[in-house]
């Protein structure tokens, strides 16, 4: 499963708020059954209170999304939805956000 790919959220309960999941796990760990994802929320649902360093705003298919880094989680690769695209171009901001969650830096 390639790193930085976006997947459609397969969970019907969280789908309205988090339609996309971003796979951030290194390709070196492809043999694991799970992968680490960050949900993306449409910016129109989030409002103006996003912490820019924790929650970078990215654009995909003409829609702005807030990267909900504080909601990082693992998911079984068998249950993840279909590939929707990728966010390789936002790699630096997302790595910075993950570092902020872990180290506060």
Please write the tens of the pLDDT for every residue from 14-63: 999 999 999 999 988 988 999 999 999 999 998 767 678 899 999 999 99
Contact 21, 77 (CB under 8 A): no
- Which residues 6+ apart lie within 8 Å of 56 measured at CB? 66, 67, 69, 90, 93, 94, 96, 97
Residue boundaries of the structural domains of the chain: 5-103
pTM exceeds cut of 0.75: yes
Question: Architecture of 5-103 per CATH?
Answer: Roll (2.30)
């Amino acid at each position: 499963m390639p790193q930085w790919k976006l997947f459609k959220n397969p969970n019907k309960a969280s789908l309205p708020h988090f339609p996309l999941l971003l796979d951030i796990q290194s390709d070196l760990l492809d043999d694991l059954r799970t992968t680490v994802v960050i949900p993306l929320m449409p910016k129109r649902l989030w409002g103006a209170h996003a912490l820019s360093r924790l929650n970078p705003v990215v654009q995909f298919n003409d829609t702005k999304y807030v990267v909900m880094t504080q909601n990082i989680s693992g998911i079984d690769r068998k249950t993840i939805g279909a590939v929707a695209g990728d966010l390789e171009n936002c790699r630096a901001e997302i790595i910075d956000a993950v570092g902020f969650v872990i180290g506060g830096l």
